[in-house]
Chains A and B, each alone.
Chain A
Amino acid sequence: MTTEHASSLRPAAVLAAQRGWWRLLPLVALALLPLVAPPFWRSLTLEVLALAIFAMSLDVLIGYTGLVSFGHAAFLGFGAYAAAFTTERVSENLLVVLPICLASVALYAVVVGFLALRTSGISFLMLTLAFSQMLFGLAIRWSRVTGGSDGLSVARPHIGLGAWQVPLGPDLDLYYLVLAAFAASWWLLSRLVASPFGHTLRGIKENAQRMQALGYRTRRFELAAFVVAAVFAGLAGMLLAMHNRYVSPDTFAWTTSGQGIIMVIVGGAGTLVGPILGALLVHLLESVGSSATESWRLIMGVVFVLFVLFAPKGIIGILRRLRRSKESPRA
């Protein structure tokens, strides 16, 4: 704790040099990965990165604001369907698709958040679930628009700026797009939770009444956090839809929301990095584990129970405990 405090007093230049260098390392590793890994592992990593954006966005709600949403898949799916509609009807240019997707998700999140945030706790959980189930039902039944249970195919977009056109043809381009989106999301969200705004959210999580007494209009902050989380989930949904070139109502299923929560809890809520690792673990279990054994759901369940019982702070909690026990002799 004291060393952290001291480091924040170091000259900014030193800090920036150190931080910048270290922080780029895992990203460089991820950037080099396609050169060594076969295509299947590349697409698996791509999925993990997109799901990590989804898990991080949920962490902003669960870990930082104390809002347990059980319907976060609604925004993942909304982003995916928005991508399908926009690429089919408006433009296949990513510079057009991206803002339309994110803006429409934000708009929808404002409406849902406005209604759902009038409640808290279990009612909030049930309301968010209800909203996501509503979209699930809509996606299945409004088949003329959504393709029903057959889903919709999504065109792979290009990047175009006037005469400058870059097709996102082979999977490799999309991998780097997702990697860039992941890096940007991580950076933005970590700036956000470290900002005064982020501190306010934590204050609301710890004691909302006290924050109100201090003069904070807590619901506005909650709504802002809700919309931000939704936008990043929508981004993840859009990227996954472009990767799969397909969306189905399944994206809205409550199991997707549940898996998001598992990613956050297993990774470590309120850490941002934890949910990234949670996404990695859960997705590898689901994809690689299900190839190995049919009882992979049982394994996932056991892993989840073990984490909740013995490591409630998740993977990050374990890593921290390890570090503390290593440092304690010195202290």
Chain B
Amino acid sequence: MITDEERKRYARQILMIGEAGQERLKLARVLVAGAGGLGTVISLYLAAAGVGHLRIIDCDVVETSNLNRQILHWSGDVGRPKTASAEEKLAALNPLIRIETVSGRIAEESIEEMAEGCDLIVDAMDNFPTRYLLNRTTVEKGIPFIHGAVRGFFGQATTVIPGKTPCLRCLFPKSPPREVFPIIGATCGVIGAIEATEAIKLLTGQGEPLAGRLFLWDGLAGSADSITVERDPSCPVCGKLKK
């Protein structure tokens, strides 16, 4: 049941998702993997929407060069763990939800515990090796994985439903090279908001998720596209799952 206070806070979205949808958000536990450019946008919108339990994982401290895009980290936060900085702002935004932070690296030996009990995982990483680990974990657990990535004015997003859609390995068999990537904060805003929208849609059962579609944002051209994508039957991660 949602409370009177929640009814008032979420009034404008209850018009869309109903009290039942709001309750589904309240009961949800979502892992946001990263508290950087994408993660700060995603967690801000999920906290504001009333996702009841947010688990935010990051291993870094705030650096000055983060401040052009990582909107939960402010000038006074430089040197603090990103998880502490994010937790403080999100708790001030919405004291009705539970925010759990984990300051640590997502790795082979830690991912199982980090993902425990989550309804879905939202990708806010900055590298493909960790994304592949998150992807494999969601395939093993049979939970959705919402992928997003950015560079410069460009971004991509898709939603992986294990066994039904291509997984990240089907789509991107090889990782793009590691680099200090150029980025403008607004691109993180676009793709982070798409990912948060996907999470809310999945949790409330509304709309058509980006399942089997790769969303592509070109901020320079001001255009958005989506490509239909197919599973790879020989995928080493999800190939054995039945459709």
A and B: bona fide binding partners: no
